[in-house]
Amino acid sequence: MTDLTQQKNEALTAIAAAASLEALDEQRVAALGKKGWVSLALKTLGGMSPEERQEAAPAIQSVRAEIAGAIEGKKAELEAAELEAKLASETLDLTLPAPLQAKGSVHPVSQVMDELAEIFADLGFEVATGPEIEDDWHNFTALNMDESHPARAMHDTFYFPDAAPDGGQMLLRTHTSPVQIRTMKAVSENSPGGAPIRLIAPGRVYRSDSDATHTPMFHQVEGLVIDRDIHLGHLKWTLETFLKAFFERDDIVLRLRPSYFPFTEPSVEVDVGYSNEEGRRVVGGSGDDAGHDWMELLGSGMVNARVLQMGGFDPGEWQGFAWGLGVDRLAMLKYGMNDLRAFFDGDPRWLAHYGFAAVDQPTLSAGVGAGA
């Protein structure tokens, strides 16, 4: 029994002195492990007489409990010390801003459409929309292209097999111009006092065409103004004001070339350039002498009297101008991409490089292309 007391005292001293959880565990194995001295002492109970055992068993059990309790206590102490040391060595500055983990980005086409809406809103234009699945009356006939019109063939139209309600064909709109018709009709039929009209209609259009500068789906923005006493000068001022705001420079100059569109008369094609000290240069172009000093940008003109009539407006009273412009092309010019196909590949690397942060809303006061 004295042996046991001595062993116990030695063990308690060693446990109290253990400097680490590992050292403490060695003590646990030495005492309570399978071959530990407490376990061996317990085994001796089997060879004892009942009287001896009655006396020895509680003594051994109490030694065992005392050792186990000491180990438990020391373990908690060592773990607390370890946590204390860890807390003291590791710091976390809770006043730091959360790391910006923006997922996704705004596509340049969406960005440019937002820029257009912002610029034209300032000029009093509303954004109008129309269906991408159109009927051929809105897409062609009402725009002065009847069934036999050769311009229809140039549009590489995707047709649907089903007939339109009026018996004509359904198709994927080949341009945003049918929005002109839909808006004019809505105004002339439902709210005759709704004119003047000032709208832009950005959106997807479709043509069966594909190479580096053509994709079967692309984007246009249509513009339409209907008012009294409207002339080409208003068209030129509007486009010039828009392009200066869009490209964020004042030295933009326009060239209007006579052209032909069935829905405008007269029709003009608008080229854009800008001049600097070295002479006339083109936005995004090389500025050399090889005829590249003007960039053909958009089609426009005075709304054809027949189109006004189709839209329910009396051409004797109302005039208007319209234009149609490629949004993807505008984005390419402003933000320097050269392959249109990459716009629609959905490659995350391209999107990360050319995309815009969602928080980066274009505003006129901050510059519509801020953060580009």
Provide the binding-site residues for ligand DAH, judged by CB under 6 A.
Answer: 175, 177, 222, 261, 263-264, 299-301, 322-324
Place of tokens 């937002």: 114
Residue number, 261 or 274, with CB nearest to ligand DAH: 261
Residues 6+ apart with CB under 8 A from 181: 138, 142, 143, 307, 310, 311
Give the residue nearest to ligand DAH (CB). Answer: 324
Residues 6+ apart with CB under 8 A from 36: 28, 29, 30
Residue number, 63 or 225, with CB nearest to ligand DAH: 225
Contact 221, 179 (CB under 8 A): no
Q: Closest separation between CB of residue 298 and ligand DAH, Å?
A: 7
Distance (Å) of CA 171 to CA 116, 161, 285 = 27, 9, 36
Residue number, 320 or 355, with CB nearest to ligand DAH: 320
Q: Closest separation between CB of residue 346 and ligand DAH, Å?
A: 25
Structure tokens at 81: 């010390």
Residue number, 260 or 345, with CB nearest to ligand DAH: 260
Residues 6+ apart with CB under 8 A from 191: none
Residue number, 114 or 222, with CB nearest to ligand DAH: 222
Question: Which long-range CB contacts under 8 A does 280-286 form with residues at least 24 apart?
Answer: 280/253, 283/247, 283/252, 283/333, 284/332, 284/333, 284/334, 284/336
Three-state SS for 125? coil
Residue number, 169 or 177, with CB nearest to ligand DAH: 177
Q: Specify which residues 134 forms β-bridges with.
A: 171
Q: Closest separation between CB of residue 227 and ligand DAH, Å?
A: 16
Q: Closest separation between CB of residue 175 and ligand DAH, Å?
A: 3
Q: Closest separation between CB of residue 94 and ligand DAH, Å?
A: 57
Residue number, 18 or 112, with CB nearest to ligand DAH: 112
Structure tokens at 118: 């912002």
Distance (Å) of CA 298 to CA 265, 270, 335 = 15, 5, 18
Neighbours of 4 (CB within 10 A): 15
Residue number, 111 or 139, with CB nearest to ligand DAH: 139
Q: Closest separation between CB of residue 158 and ligand DAH, Å?
A: 14
Q: Specify which residues 211 forms β-bridges with.
A: 214
Q: Closest separation between CB of residue 351 and ligand DAH, Å?
A: 27
Q: Closest separation between CB of residue 268 and ligand DAH, Å?
A: 8
Three-state SS for 239? helix
Contact 28, 83 (CB under 8 A): no
Tell whether 265 is in a known binding site. Answer: yes
The annotation places the binding site for Mg(2+) at: 265
The annotation places the binding site at: 265
